[in-house]
A and B are shown apart, each in its own frame.
Chain A
Amino acid sequence: MRTITYAQAINEAMSEEMRKDENIVFMGEDIGVYGGAFGVSRGMFEEFGDDRVKDTPISELVITGCAAGAAMTGLRPIVEIMFSDFITLAMEQLANQAAKNRFQFGGQAAVPMVLRTPGGSGTGAAEQHSQSLEAWVCHVPGLKVVIPSTPYDAKGLLKASMLDNNPVVFIEQKLLYRSKGEVPEVEDDYIIPLGKADIKREGKDVTIVTYGRMVQRSLEVAEKFASEGVDIEVIDVRTLVPLDKECLIESAKKTGKVLVVHEACQTGGYGGELASTIVDSDAFFYLDAPVKRLGGLDVPIPYNPNLEALVVPTEEKITAAVRELL
């Protein structure tokens, strides 16, 4: 199988679907001529032209509002918010309009749009360009929330998001854009349905439930524990909303010990939802330790790169957390 980057996988998903469906349009800041702040849309402006790949003014509210309106009138827009931190500016249109319109109009309106935006720290972009704000959007009924951790998942999940008739917030991991992974040939089209978690590593002793950039980090920790004879299962949630609860519960019943890891601040983070999903099920009777959460520190992401690396779950922190469960 060929190997491509996470960014390329996203580009392919958009381009392939846009070739099939001319109602798909793409808009955002510097996505056209410039090819996107992280180069994700490189070549798309040239291929699809400025009718379908639109550079917009610097107004996330306008871009998101346009997309929601266009979606209700028949287009299937993709919006790129340059940094997920700017979702604050798009939130009115996203949370109060796009998420609610289907319900508001009694099912007579649909909002088939995808809001793509990179989240996460690690680039030295400091506090307003490094946050992980998935919990904000997970809390809004009507929005689906996807965070892929590999090029393969990114392509398959983005296609599913584009084909979905509801607004989907597709949070990419800016630190993963350059990461590579195996993805089928272009001819071998595939879709990964939303709402299906993926067991990235099977194990029987401890379950790590995670998503995004922390999947790879957890897998590395798992490999190190394997040499000690501790068999860790790593579940990549992939779709936060809708959540594959069954996968989490079954794994917790198997191992009896669960660690939830995410980069976002721990307080009010989605890890609370993941943990309580397990505790609030028959898996409770199989738990052999308190379900442990490991999130980022409750501080703004520091500009200093050394500090920045320390505020999110590191391999050392994940390792220590696993040891507490054993």
Chain B
Amino acid sequence: MAEAIIMPKTGMAMEEGVIIEWFKSVGDKIEKGDILAEIETDKSTMELEADEEGTLLSLVYEAGTTVAVTLPIAWIGEEGEEIPQAAAPAAKATGEVADSEVKIETQEVIPAVISSDLRSTPAAKRVAAERNISLESVKPSGQFGEIRERDVLALPSVTATPLAARIAAEQGTDLSTINGSGHNGKIFSGDLPQKTMTPMTTVAEDTRVPLTKIQQITGKRLLESTQQIPSVTSNMKADVTELLNLRKQINSSIETKITINDFVLMAVARALKDVPRMNSTLDGDALIYKGSINLGMAVATPKGLIVPVIPQADMMSLTNLSNKAKALAVAGREGRLQPDDLYGATFSISNIGMFGVSSFSPIINPPEAGILGVCAIEATPKFVAGELVERQIMGLSLTYDHRVVDGAESSVFLKTIRDYLEAPLTLLV
């Protein structure tokens, strides 16, 4: 007969577990002790071992599903054997059906006698101790309401996985002294004393690596930023179809390759000129409007995140801007940046669109008033003049210091950037 593999209950408080990964597929031959799946509980992850040998007949739930404890999650039996009707998933996750199953299970273990007047015969106590069974879980049948030996024997005895049993035998551990963490106290190898435990798999040891100086400083500044600045992040989408076409034209005619990021730098520099409050710094109860627009450009390097600066970006042509940005990025990755290259930014840009990020909340680099997060460009259906067409849409995430600009002004700034990007020729005039 097909045997159910249940979601193990590894602790009193555990109500559900997540199937992280199935290591076996339907039709696989299963030996006792084979690792079937990795299960995540609220506390940890564990490997689910097979108690039975046979053929894996069915996986009731896919990996990633949350399942109430003690529900069947897979079936093992003879090849071609029918699985009981109940094997079909009652609910994809822990639904009402799953809850009622749990309640039934709970009812069975409710102690019939409160521990304070728990009476049991010496024999019952002895057998319970031998089998590592708590008397509170035993239902008494004696004439005085006492727990008899037979009541203890009626409970399933302590069981262990084949692996746990083998390790226990090898290290001479008495299994009856072990508190099993599994269903009905089943003992897993992980329940055995650590000292002589044979590792089930080779687990890499933790490694401590000191932070680089850059990482330490960056971390400190980011923490200060999030703690001290009342920041807000707004998201907007820009249709960059035209921009991409323009870039294609430019790149096909000149040697220098203009990047999308170069267009963004240009658009931001222009927008900062249009909305100068975004290019200011809060100084006590006054604002300092910066005389020049210096764009910080976040660059990931092996030593940490650095933000080299393109000074007076608003004065530069697209080609100059592109060359400068490229040079700074290369110098940054190669660790050749000079201190001056990292000083004086009035606004920063962080571009992680190449990773496919659609929106995020960049952290302001103090004392700047804001930072623009540049997100991925995605081909998206869009109505243009009443027709549904494919357009290239870029995500923009602006984090701003609400003390410096309010929602309206920051939105005007963001919209200005978008407008430049959607009408890229305006950037070139």
Residues of A within 8 A of B (CB): 256, 284-289, 324
Beyond A285-B125, A288-B121, A289-B142, 14 additional pairs, beta carbon < 8 A: A256-B121, A256-B123, A256-B149, A284-B122, A285-B122, A286-B122, A287-B122, A287-B123, A288-B122, A288-B123, A288-B124, A288-B148, A288-B149, A288-B150
B143 on the interface (CB 8 Å rule)? Answer: yes
The reply to whether A287 and B143 form a contact with Cβ atoms under 8 Å apart is no
Instruction: List 17 A–B pairs whose Cβ atoms lie within 8 Å, in order of A's numbering.
Output: A256-B121, A256-B149, A285-B122, A285-B123, A285-B125, A285-B126, A286-B123, A287-B121, A287-B123, A288-B121, A288-B123, A288-B124, A288-B149, A288-B150, A289-B142, A289-B148, A324-B143
* Number of interface residues, chain B, beta carbon within 8 A: 11
Please, which residue of chain A has its CB at the minimum distance from the CB of B126? Answer: A285
Closest residue of A by beta carbon distance from B152: A288
Write the B88-129 contact mask toward A (1 if CB under 8 angstroms, else 0).
000000000000000000000000000000000111111000
Expressed in whole angstroms, the Cα–Cα distance for A288 and B142 within the complex equals 9
The secondary-structure label for the interface of chain B is helix
Cα distance A182–B371 in the bound complex, in angstroms? 112
**Complex interface bits, B138-156 against A, C-beta within 8 A gives 1, otherwise 0:** 0000110000111000000
Chain A residue with Cβ nearest B147: A288
Within the complex, the shortest CB–CB distance from A280 to chain B, in Å, comes to: 13
* Chain B positions within 8 Å of A286 at CB level: 122-123, 126
Complex Cα distance A284/B122, Å?
7
Chain A residues closer than 8 Å to B148, beta-carbon distance: 288-289
B residues contacting A by CB (< 8 A) are 121-126, 142-143, 148-150
- Residues from chain B with Cβ under 8 Å of A285 in the complex: 122-123, 125-126
Closest to A325 in B: B143
In the bound complex, how far is the Cα of B124 from the Cα of A285, in angstroms? Answer: 9
Q: How far is the CB of A289 from chain B (nearest CB, A)?
A: 6
Q: How distant is the Cα of A284 from the Cα of B126 in the complex, in angstroms? A: 10
A185 to chain B, nearest CB (A): 46
The residue of chain A having its C-beta at the shortest distance from the C-beta of B148 within the complex is: A288
Distance (Å) between the CB of B6 and the closest chain A CB? 33
Q: Which residues of B contact A324 (CB under 8 A)?
A: 143
Give B129 Cβ to nearest chain A Cβ, in Å: 9
Report the nearest B residue to A283, measured CB to CB.
B122
Bound: A288/B150 CA distance, A: 9
Closest 5 CB pairs of A and B: A288-B123, A288-B149, A288-B121, A256-B123, A285-B126
Q: Which residues of B contact A288 (CB under 8 A)?
A: 121-124, 148-150
A256 vs B121: C-alpha distance in the bound complex, in angstroms? Answer: 10
Chain B residue nearest to A287 in the complex (CB): B122
> Chain B contacts of A256 at CB under 8 A?
121, 123, 149
CB distance from B36 to the nearest CB of A (A): 40
Contacts of B122 in A (CB 8 A): 284-288
Q: How far is the CA of A126 from the CA of B122 in the complex (A)?
A: 43
Taking CB atoms, residues of chain A closer than 8 Å to B149 are: 256, 288
Closest residue of A by beta carbon distance from B150: A288
Return the chain A residue nearest B120 by Cβ: A288
* CB-based nearest B residue for A257: B123
**Shortest distance in angstroms between A67's beta carbon and chain B's nearest beta carbon?**
46
**Complex CA–CA separation, A237 to B148 (angstroms):** 28
C-alpha gap A324/B144 in the complex (Å): 10
Residues of chain A with a CB closer than 8 A to B142's CB = 289
Residue of B nearest to A289 (CB): B121
**Closest chain A residue to B143, Cβ basis:** A324
B124 to chain A, nearest CB (A): 7
Chain B residues contacting A284 (CB-CB under 8 Å) are 122
Most A C-beta atoms less than 10 A away, residue of B122, B124, B148, B150: B122
> Inside 8 A of B126's CB, which chain A residues have their CB?
285-286
Q: How far is the CB of B155 from chain A (nearest CB, A)?
A: 15
Task: Choose among A284, A288, A289, A324 the residue with the greatest number of B CB atoms under 10 Å from its CB.
Answer: A288
A287 / chain B contacts, CB cutoff of 8 Å:
121-123
Distance between Cα atoms of A286 and B152 in the complex (Å): 13
Q: How far is the CB of B141 from chain A (nearest CB, A)?
A: 10
A256 to B143, CA, bound (A): 15
Residues of A within 8 A of B150 (CB): 288
Alpha-carbon distance A285/B123, docked complex (angstroms): 5
Q: A326 to nearest B CB, angstroms?
A: 9
- B123 CB contacts on chain A under 8 angstroms: 256, 285-288
Chain B's nearest CB lies how many Å from the CB of A256?
5
Roughly how many angstroms separate A288 CA and B122 CA in the complex, as a whole number?
A: 6
CA distance A272 to B150 in the complex (A): 27
A288→B148 CA distance, assembly (Å): 6
What separation, in Å, do the CA atoms of A187 and B149 have in the docked complex?
A: 50
Q: Quote the shortest CB–CB distance from B145 to chain A (angstroms).
A: 13
**A259: min CB distance to chain B, Å:** 14
Give CA–CA (A284, B125) in the complex, Å: 11
**Cα–Cα distance between A286 and B149 once the two chains are bound (Å):** 9
Bound together, the chains give a CA A114 to CA B143 distance in angstroms of 46
**Chain A residues within 8 Å of B121, by CB:** 256, 287-289
CA distance A288 to B126 in the complex (A): 10
A264 to chain B, nearest CB (A): 26
CB distance from B128 to the nearest CB of A (A): 12
Chain A residue, CB-CB nearest to B142: A289
Chain A nearest CB from B316 CB (Å) reads 92
- Which residues on the A side are within 8 Å of B124 (C-beta)? 288
In the bound complex, what is the Cα–Cα distance between A256 and B126 (angstroms)?
Answer: 11
- Who on chain A is nearest to B123 by CB? A288
Q: Give the complex CA separation of A26 and B123 in angstroms.
A: 51
How far, in whole Å, are A288 and B123 apart by their CA atoms in the complex? 5
- Among residues of A, the one whose C-beta sits closest to the C-beta of B144 is A290
B123, B124, B143 — most chain A CB neighbours (10 Å):
B123
Q: How far in angstroms is the closest Cβ of chain B from A253?
A: 9
In the assembled complex, the Cα of A284 lies from the Cα of B123 at a distance in Å of 8
B221 to chain A minimum Cβ distance, whole angstroms, is 70
Measured CA separation A287–B149 after assembly (Å): 9
B174 vs chain A, min Cβ distance (A): 18
Once the chains are docked, how many angstroms separate the CA of A96 from the CA of B149? 48
Nearest A residue to B121, CB-CB: A288
Instruction: Give the complex CA separation of A19 and B336 in angstroms.
Output: 127
Give Cα A285–Cα B142 distance, bound, in whole angstroms.
17
In the bound assembly, the distance between CA atoms of A67 and B31 in angstroms comes to: 82
